[in-house]
Structure 1
Amino acid sequence: MRAIEITGSVDEEGFVQLDQPLAEAKLTRFRGILLFPEVDNSQDQEWSLSAIQASTGDLLDDPEEDIYTLEDGEPLDDEA
């Protein structure tokens, strides 16, 4: 079984609406697990949604996240 991570929402009738189409999985049934935020504050929900939508690659490419240098930490001696 193959896993695909995607975001979406549940409409007023309880149907799942995906944020984007699944290009590689057409005309097939699927089994899914829905993960819902545990917060009721709409501001927190907006933050959660943007955190889910942000890709890890974008985060790692952000210069503000590049806080370590080669001088940080201590050398590792793996010949012990």
Structure 2
Amino acid sequence: MRAIEATGEIDKKGVLRLDGPLSLREKKVKVIILMSEEDEEIEEKRWLSAMTSNPAFDFLHQEQENQYSLQDGEPFHD
């Protein structure tokens, strides 16, 4: 797989708009979006909010998922 760098913006509808045309034509591509750190904090908050309200994660609230207590293991200090 090869990489091509391009810049652009994501509009209010969530559509990626590049600053200019690419030399590639009629190709399927995979896009990785890199943002500045200030946007990163906002996105992390949105992701955490979505994760906590997404029904796909409801199973984590089930009693059998509550396997560990504060007395298990040892503290981790980073």
Say which structure, 1 or 2, has more relative contact order (CA 8 Å, 6+ apart): 1
Pairwise TM-score range, normalised by the shorter structure: 0.3 to 0.5
TM-score of the pair, normalised by structure 2: 0.46
Higher share of residues assigned helix: 2
TM-score of the pair, normalised by structure 1: 0.45
